[in-house]
Amino acid sequence: MRTCLLLVLLVFGPFAFAQPSASAQEVSVADPPPAKRGLELYFTQHVAFSNAGGINNRLRKTDYPQLGGTQVFWGGGLQYRLNRLLLGLEVAHTVNPYGPRSNESATSRRSAYTLQLQAYYVVYKREHVRLYPFLGAGGMETSLTLTRTTADRDFNELLSQPGNAVSLTHFQNFINVGVGADIVLDKAGPSPLVNFRIGYRAGDRSEWFSDHTTVRNAPLDRLSNFYVQISLGQAWNRQGPRQRTNP
């Protein structure tokens, strides 16, 4: 009988004594609070859809290829976060994957860049997802080079009698509005950043002009555009002074 009791104590004794010890060592550790400040840097690509009706009407009449309605932009941005408010700066430049538009006798080559300041306010935040509307303002400059195919010419003659190319520029200010969604951690420290945005740039109506001569009777265009954007980047979050002093 004593032998059986000794075996029971040897087998179950360590678990009986270890159980209270393990429970006593369990400490409820609360998750750290979300970081209230952050700096975010990202690279972006967006596809914009616009209608250059004014210049296209003139190009069609003079047998130049018309401008397409789709543009692809590449760029980058920097934004600062304070709680739910984000303030950002973004720059982008067009990259046409199909090259210039051309026909049998002429070519149209377009490029553009945008610079804009934006403010975002997070209206929904859960774990690593945040949703927000945004409002911004900026400018877009579009450059258009028109060339015609010519016969073979002597190099000196080409320099002394140029004229087979026309360079035009269009500049407009715009208001940028839209909505976005980010995937990012809000804990202190670095975090990957992915964002998706849909927006509309409402621009003012302005003339095409030339940097080399005064142009009369120039067409007017409002190159407003709807766009879809995706960005990849990095966020660096940090706690506020009160968060650091109060654990």
Place of tokens 């774990």: 127
Place of tokens 């979050």: 237
User: From CA 179, how far away is CA 122, in angstroms rounded?
Assistant: 10
Q: What are the phi and psi torsion angles at 89 (to 5°)? A: -125, 135
Domain ranges of the chain: 32-245
CA atoms within 13 A on the CB side of 62: 14
The pLDDT value given to residue 186: 80
The pLDDT value given to residue 98: 64
The token pair at 185 is: 């951690």
For residue range 37-57, list pLDDT tens digits in order.
999 999 999 999 988 999 999
**pTM beyond cutoff 0.95:** no
Place of tokens 């002429």: 106
The CATH code of domain 32-245 reads 2.40.160.20
DSSP 164: S
For residue range 136-179, list pLDDT tens digits in order.
999 999 999 999 877 777 888 777 777 678 899 999 999 999 99
User: From CA 142, how far away is CA 206, in angstroms rounded?
Assistant: 12
The token pair at 21 is: 């010890």
The token pair at 92 is: 């982008």
- pLDDT beneath 70: ranges in the chain: 1-32, 97-99, 163, 240-247
The pLDDT value given to residue 127: 80
Pick from 213, 217, 136: which is nearest to 173 by CA? 136
